[in-house]
Structure formats: C-alpha cells, structure tokens
Amino acid sequence: MKRVLVATSNAGKIRDFAGAASSFGIEIAPLPNLASLPSVVEDGATFEANARKKAEAYSRFVPGEIVIADDSGLEVDALRGAPGVHSARYAADEPHQAEANTDDEANNAKLIREIKRVPVEKRTARFVCWIAAARDGKTLAIFDGKAEGVILDEARGTNGFGYDPLFYFPQIEKTFAELSAEEKSVYSHRGAALRKFLAWHKQST
C-alpha cells in the first residue's frame, strides 16, 4: 500500500483524509516527529497560500517523500466571508493577529452569537479546502474542494470537529458532525480536494 504523509497534528483531519483515501488503497500517515519540527506561521492571505507554505516547509524534513498539507475553513456569506482564513482563530479578540488557534468550543460559540443576528434564510455558507502536495521544498500540485451548506444556531452531532456540528448539509439533511469519517469524505470539502489529489497521485507515481 502506498503511503502519503500529512503535515498535520489534527486528529480530525487525519480521520477525514484516511476516510477518503481508503478506497484508493493509499495509507495516510502523519508526518513523523511533527511536534518537534519548527512550526509554520500561517500568515497567507488565502487558504491556497497557507497550504503551499506548510507543504513546502515540512517536505524539506523528509527528503524524497510527497507531503500534503491543507488549509481549510468556513466562509459565511452574511458575515462577509468570515471566519475565512481565520477559522481556527475566530474566537480570538483579534483573529488576524492571533498566533495560536482558539478551541473549537469557543469558535463555535462566537459563530452562534453572530449567526443569530442573521435571518434563517440568509445563513448560507461553505467549507473550503486547499491541499498542496510538495516534495523537497517544492510544490508539485494543488487541489481545491468546496461544500455548500447552511449554518445552524445550535450544535448537532458528535463525530466531527471544528464547525462540523453547526454546518448543515441540505443534500443529506445532516450536519457534518452527524456523519462517519467515510460518509463525510463523500460530501466534504476536504474529501473533494483529497480525491483530486489521490487521482493525481495514482497517475503520477
């Protein structure tokens, strides 16, 4: 079985990746000793820029191996695209200046406060994901995925992470937190981006 290294310590993301990769016969593994490596500052203006930056930086530590990194987040139309690239730091007083992520519970609480001001019919949003594949410090390819949905003002489900309990997917009448990793990979932004990567990986390796 082929192995792909993922530059993340987020267990939820690893589950998402593994769920999508299993049908391709590819093993998803976290980058070895990631916690001991210098952290990458995600100060890019876009999800794509942050994904490229992480993939290039971390791939230098495993010569010859393909490393993927993603940057993803939630864009709420009524909030002018917020939390956007600051999704993981949304609950901070100044998200664009925060150096550390804020926890999921705090981020979700802030989103609920903001969305309650918005009429139900205008709570449209999307999850966006960009995945960069790099080797030896150079980006090889980049892939994107989206999932369109609606933001709820109360959480539903316990399987997801991040904003999953608030992201309602009308197509299946469930939130992402009500899905298994395999089900989520079919519908999610991360699953869509990863399938593009996996198809590319199958052809190029």
Q: Which residue has the higher pLDDT, 100 or 37?
A: 37
CA–CA separation, 205 and 197 (whole Å): 12
pLDDT at 50: 96
Taking residues 92-102, what's their average pLDDT?
Answer: 77
Could you give the number of structural domains in the chain?
A: 1
Under the banding of pLDDT at 50, 70 and 90, the label for residue 191 is confident
**Active-site residue set:** 71
Q: Give the per-residue pLDDT at 9.
A: 86
Q: Which domain covers residue 176, as residue numbers?
A: 2-204
Instruction: Please determine, for residue 205, whether its predicted confidence score (pLDDT) is greater than 70.
Output: no
Percent of the chain with pLDDT over 70: 98
State in Å, rounded, how far the first CA of the chain is from the last one. 12
Q: Is 1's pLDDT higher than 70?
A: no
pLDDT of residue 13: 84
- Residue position matching structure tokens 């090889």: 140
Q: What is the mean pLDDT of residues 72-96?
A: 92
pLDDT (mean) for 187-201: 92
Residue 172 is part of a domain; what is its CATH number?
Answer: 3.90.950.10
| pTM reported for the whole predicted model | 0.89
Sheet strand arrangement including 124-135: 26-30, 2-6, 67-76, 124-135, 138-151, 167-169, 174-175
pLDDT of 127 reads 97
**pLDDT tens digits, one per residue of 12-35:** 888 888 877 877 888 889 999 999
